[in-house]
Amino acid sequence: MAIKKSKKDKAAESSTIGENAIANRETEGLSQGQIIRKRFFQHKPAVFSLFFLLALTLFVYSASGIHLGTEHNPINYPGWWHYSILDLPDTTLCGDTVGCPTADHPFGQDGIGRDFFALVTRGSEISLMVMVIIGFLGGFIGTVIGAIAGFFGGWVDAVLMRFTDFIITIPTILIGAVIGFRVGNLGVFVLALLLGVFAWTGLARLVRGEFLTLREREFVDAARVAGASNLRIIFKHILPNAIGVIIVSVTLALSGAILLETALSYIGLGVQAPDVSLGLIINQYQDSFTYSPWLFWWPGAFIIAIALSVNFIGDGLRDAFDPRQRRRIKRKDFVLVAAKTRPGK
């Protein structure tokens, strides 16, 4: 016996048909990469954050220059800003205020006369470098471990996941504090590498879950029947289907990386003087908040701006890679398509 649909059910069905028709029309004739790119650029906060982060990175690196190596073996390429973090120009006075912002020192000066613009741009350079190294090294290790565990399963999966669980039980800040205490004076590059070695656990579990699901799909069985090796199945068939989860997770992990570096430097266990980072700057000038608040505002503003930008980019990538996300549809387009696809028309 046929079940008669109510007007409400018909309206809901018509709405669904209309939305699907619009979605299909928007992606018709586009490759998967073009669809992802189009969806990402429809996310206006993510696009703005991407360009803002690129502009900020170019700005701080061009202003401060590139500084690598250690205190005894430095590698320096100066930037366009005329002060460095070691220069001690005359301190400016604005009434009773020492080191207030001026045209020559737009971010002010600290108590001994150092230009604060040079300190903040150099600190931003170091923090961005640490963020990228931790994020991508952790992403690589997490992808490899998660892929191996999820694809092979059995005792391989059990051993790798128990090791992952052990690392997860250790607080991240504790691991970072030990690493920072031992190698913080060896340079920012070494510190970032060792922190990245322990920043993979969350991604490994996500990748493992994706591989456990994808390895049972028909296209994987077809590849096995065709004689493909395990490495080819992993890199040519499964990994491309899991790349969305990996990219989104790595992007969101970048903001956590810069906050980890900030926290370690703030407690004195991250980047060590004479080098600087945003967290170290806040630590050094936190007592100046009452009489020279700009010494606290500028590094804090840069940290917030970088972390928010990375989070917005991650949100945009998540929406772009997830086909289940419902994009906003213009009402006039929806009404037009819904009217054409209404049952009985």
134: helix, strand or coil: helix
Nearest to 120 by CA among 263, 307, 284, 345: 284
- Within a domain: 109: no
Total domain count, the chain:
1
- Within a domain: 85: no
Contact 206, 214 (CB under 8 A): no
- Within a domain: 153: yes
Read off the pLDDT band of 326 (50, 70, 90). Answer: very low
- Within a domain: 87: no
Asked if omega into 274 is within 30° of 0 (cis), the reply is: yes
CA distance 232 to 228: 6
- Within a domain: 11: no
pLDDT tens digits for range 95-152: 666 677 787 888 888 877 788 888 899 888 888 888 888 888 988 999 999 999 988 8
The better pLDDT of the pair 7, 240 is held by: 240
CA distance 331 to 52: 31
- Residue 94: beta bridge partners? 97
Encoded amino acid at 16, one letter:
T
- Within a domain: 6: no
Query: Rounded to 5, what percent of the chain is helix, strand, coil?
Result: 70, 5, 25
Nearest to 264 by CA among 164, 69, 131, 142: 131
CA distance 198 to 298: 30
Contact 251, 310 (CB under 8 A): yes
The better pLDDT of the pair 174, 166 is held by: 166
Parent domain of 266: 30-66+114-340
- Within a domain: 253: yes
Q: Residue 225 belongs to a domain with what CATH number? A: 1.10.3720.10
pLDDT tens digits for range 269-319: 777 777 788 888 888 887 776 777 788 888 888 988 998 998 888 888 888
146: helix, strand or coil: helix
- Within a domain: 37: yes
344: helix, strand or coil: coil
pTM: 0.75
